[in-house]
């Protein structure tokens, strides 16, 4: 065999080996990447803190399921979302007013520049989920402990020492912003106290309430983005 033929065979073998190596490394990377779990969520006990979707401000992965348990344990919690951008209808952040995801869901968000929520107690839970396709930047959120709650998204519920229930006027216990958010609701006074996590005994309606937030649902035009419109909004 000539020297040129031997050299050509050796070069072909090296090229084949390089191709096999590149293919093997690529398969290994894909397999490892697809099997890596996305670690997110957790327990937040501080008086104030920040959390965000995985990879923020870059795009979050597919098929994530993250839950943050916000538990400072006293007073109320002011939660703020900034630059929330997900695939509406498929990926979203849910806010629960309570200890875990069995508590009352007050918000389902998919796109908002800035949204604020005040808890009615000393616990909040946030869950973020994405499906198997189309990813976006997600969100950044902060929270802090505050001395007072708010009736925004809480109409019909007790908020600590003040109330967002329709009978608060009779009792003199209305929260400071009750009139702004709940004063025009059609909810009737109740003679029995309801725990914080219960659902309203009456179904909220947008009739005569256009432009108002009605606690568990909304008649405000942005409800289509937040996914919390009342049944007769349209």
pLDDT (tens digit per residue) in 62-88: 999 999 999 998 899 999 999 999 999
* Residue 138 main-chain phi, psi, to 5 deg: 85, -130
Q: Mean pLDDT across the chain, nearest whole number?
A: 78
CB atoms within 10 A of CB 57: 12
Q: What is the pLDDT of residue 210?
A: 72
Q: How many residues does the chain have?
A: 234
Average pLDDT over residues 224-234: 63
Query: 130: helix, coil or strand?
Result: coil
Q: Whole-prediction pTM value?
A: 0.65
Taking the CA atoms of 145, 227, 58 and 64 in sequence, report the sign of the dihedral they define.
positive
**Cis amide prior to 57 (ω within 30 degrees):** yes
Residue 212 pLDDT exceeds 60: yes
Helix, strand, coil percentages for the chain (3-state, nearest 5): 20, 30, 50
104 in Cβ contact with 172 (< 8 Å): no
């Amino acid at each position: 065999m000539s020297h040129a033929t031997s050299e050509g065979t050796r070069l072909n073998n090296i090229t084949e080996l390089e191709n096999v190596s590149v293919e093997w490394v690529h398969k290994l990377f894909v397999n490892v990447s697809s099997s890596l779990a996305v670690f997110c969520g957790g327990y937040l006990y501080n008086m104030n803190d920040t959390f965000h979707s995985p990879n923020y401000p870059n795009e979050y992965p597919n098929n994530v399921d993250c839950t943050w348990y916000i538990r400072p344990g006293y007073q109320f919690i002011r939660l703020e979302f900034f630059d929330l951008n997900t695939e509406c209808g498929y990926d979203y952040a849910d806010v629960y007013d309570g200890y875990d995801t069995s508590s009352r869901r007050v918000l389902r968000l998919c796109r908002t520049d800035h949204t604020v929520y005040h808890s009615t107690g000393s616990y909040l839970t946030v869950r973020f989920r994405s499906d198997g396709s189309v990813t976006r930047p997600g969100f950044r959120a902060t929270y802090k402990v505050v001395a007072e709650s708010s009736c925004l998204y809480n109409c019909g519920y007790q908020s600590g020492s003040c109330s967002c229930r329709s009978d608060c006027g009779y009792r003199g216990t209305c929260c400071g912003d009750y009139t702004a958010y709940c004063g025009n609701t059609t909810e009737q006074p109740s003679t029995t106290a309801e725990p914080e996590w219960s659902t309203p005994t009456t179904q909220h309606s947008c009739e005569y309430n256009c432009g108002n937030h009605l606690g568990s649902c909304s008649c405000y035009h942005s409800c289509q983005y937040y996914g919390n419109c009342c049944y007769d909004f349209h």
